[in-house]
Amino acid sequence: MKLVSYNIQYGFGSNGRYDLARAARLVDGADIIALQEVERHWQRSNGDDQPEILSRLLPDYHWVYGPAFDMDASEKRDGRVVNRRRQFGTMVLSKLPIVWSRLHTLPMRRTLRPLNTRNAALECMIRTPAGPVRIFSLHLAHIAAEERLEQIDYLLGEHRRAPSEGGPWSGADDEPQRNWGDGQPEPENPLAAIWLGDFNMEPGSAEYRRIVGSTPYHRGAAYIDGFADAAAVASEPVPDFHTHEKIIDGRLAKRRLDHCFVGGMLAGRVRSVSADIGEVASDHFPLRVDIDLETPGIAPALQTGEPGMTLFVFLAVLSAAAMHAIWNALVKVHLDRFLSITLMTLGMGFAALFALPFVEVPKAEVWPYIIASVIFHMGYRTFLIGAYKAGDFAQTYPLARGTAPLLSALGASCWSERFRHHSPCSASCFCRRARW
């Protein structure tokens, strides 16, 4: 998926011209867009309602606006109050629905000089094909590192509490007649998160290290509840780039102030990170991130912070253990080997018939593997019966059962990548073939 983070400087370009449509054209086409410095009803931007204008310029997107600060901009017309709010904040636009959102107003230190403004982080939960992810569009303080560190500490604390706090609501509704859930299941509040925005800090700074940690000996380290710099872990690294240019002390300073930080479980999915250097629609350049949020597989345990084994899985594991014990008992009693294995095969067949109504029909490309699995099973059991009849059972049984883990490991190393994008049925068929 294509992500873009862009501080649009309320529509004013580096050439001093106000043109909101120009900024919209640069971000159009991305799957998720995080904007900073978006405002409503300011004199400098003609009193425009920029979130509304941007939503019209980008009609294919769901969107949420989060004002970092809010002040009165009302006026009286024809004897009545026209209520308006002068706002300044961040915005998230997404081609996928934004399930829920919330606004974090960040810690602020009052200054004597220069002007300091309230900052905020807009959090939006989006259900991507890979799983639910919390997307942030944030803007940190521009004056002092100490203030940014306080803001980062606040955000990290909120991040680590997310799975235990839940989303907008949680728990069973004890007043169903009031329909608090509006007929929907409890919304997720996953641990997986992506921070996009103008951080007003450079790589290597104290604030940067507070987010990614200090890992001089393990630069690829990623903690489950931590973050990694997408630019540092991208599978297709690009030469050093920057997202902001400014004349400081008579010299042109090129700085990377805009960043994308991904949760630890997403670090291996980042493909590339780049910037549209030279664009003049703002004093910042758009930051572009290509990340795999299409392939399912963000582990539920990592998403929720809770144990991943559900009651159903637990019972299924116990049932498998019980059936395996029955298998062992039957082959060890003094029945005819052919008869005992035939009885077990018929029993498994009947169990499969009862399960058929509850599983999906395998796709066409999976059927060759199912047929191959059947052939392998028939061959395996034919040779197994012969081995049990011809050899000493105390030797043949351990050999037959003990080679399964070895074959599974060898098969997985050769075939796992091939089955990565197939349905679970195909992977299951392969595992069964290797197991038996």
Give tens-digit pLDDT for 351-391. Answer: 778 777 777 777 777 788 888 888 887 887 777 777 777 77
Task: Give the model's confidence band at 181: pLDDT under 50 very low, under 70 low, under 90 confident, else very high.
Answer: confident
Flag whether pLDDT at 421 surpasses 50: no
The whole-angstrom separation of Cα 51 and Cα 37 is 11
Q: State the pLDDT at residue 244.
A: 94
Of residues 153 and 303, the one with the higher pLDDT is: 153
CA-CA-CA-CA torsion for 209, 211, 213, 219, nearest 10 degrees? -90
How many whole angstroms separate alpha carbon 5 and alpha carbon 35?
Answer: 6
Packed helices 311-332 and 337-355: angle between N→C axes, nearest 10 degrees: 160
Q: What share of the chain is helix, strand, coil (3-state, %, to 5)?
A: 40, 25, 35
Least confidently predicted of 63-77, 205-219, 301-315 = 301-315
Q: What is the DSSP letter of 374?
A: H
Residue 334: which pLDDT band, with cuts at 50, 70 and 90? low
| Residues 298-316 pLDDT 10s | 855 445 444 445 566 677 7
Higher pLDDT, 352 or 261: 261
pTM > 0.85: yes or no: no
Higher pLDDT, 235 or 228: 228
Task: Give me the CATH code for the 2-168+183-304 domain, please.
Answer: 3.60.10.10
Q: Taking 70 as the threshold, does the pLDDT of residue 344 lie above it? A: yes
For residues 225 and 373, give the distance between their C-alpha atoms in angstroms, rounded to a whole number: 40
Q: What confidence category does residue 415 fall into, taking pLDDT thresholds of 50, 70 and 90?
A: low
Q: What is the token pair recorded at 170?
A: 């949680």
Return the top range by mean pLDDT from 157-161, 183-187, 248-252, 411-415: 157-161
The pLDDT, as a whole number, for residue 384 is 73
Please give the residue that has the higher pLDDT: either 307 or 233.
233
**Torsion sign, CA atoms 318, 322, 323, 328:** positive
Contact call for residues 11 and 18 (beta carbons, < 8 A):
yes
| Angstrom distance (rounded) from CA 303 to CA 235 | 23
Distance of alpha carbon 339 from alpha carbon 361, whole angstroms: 31
pLDDT at 328: 67
319 pLDDT above the threshold of 50: yes
Residue with the larger pLDDT of the pair 99 and 246: 99
Span 251-267, average pLDDT: 94
Q: Which residues lie closer than 8 Å to 388 by C-beta, 6 or more apart?
A: 331, 337, 396, 397
Query: Residue 52 — pLDDT band, cuts 50, 70, 90?
Result: very high
Q: Cβ(4)–Cβ(288) under 8 Å? A: yes
pLDDT of residue 231: 94
**Element (H or E) spanning 194, and its range?**
strand 193-198
Whole-angstrom Cα Rg for the chain: 29
Matching residue, tokens 């940067």: 208
- Give residue limits of the domains in the chain: 2-168+183-304, 311-435
The yes-or-no verdict on residue 151 having pLDDT over 90 is yes
**The pLDDT value given to residue 12:** 97
Residue 294: count other Cβ atoms within 10 Å of its Cβ. 11
Q: Tell me, what's the pLDDT at 398?
A: 72
Which of 199-208, 267-276, 423-432 shows the lowest per-residue confidence on average (mean pLDDT)? 423-432
Q: What is the pLDDT of residue 422?
A: 44
pLDDT band at 216 (very low <50, low <70, confident <90, very high): low
Confidence check: pLDDT of 329 > 90:
no
Hey, what are 255's tokens?
């700085």
Give CB contacts under 8 A, 24+ apart, made by 50-54. Answer: 50/10, 50/11, 50/20, 51/91, 53/20, 54/20, 54/24, 54/91, 54/93
> Region 34-61: what's the mean pLDDT?
97
- When the pLDDT of each residue in the chain is averaged and rounded to a whole number, the result is 85
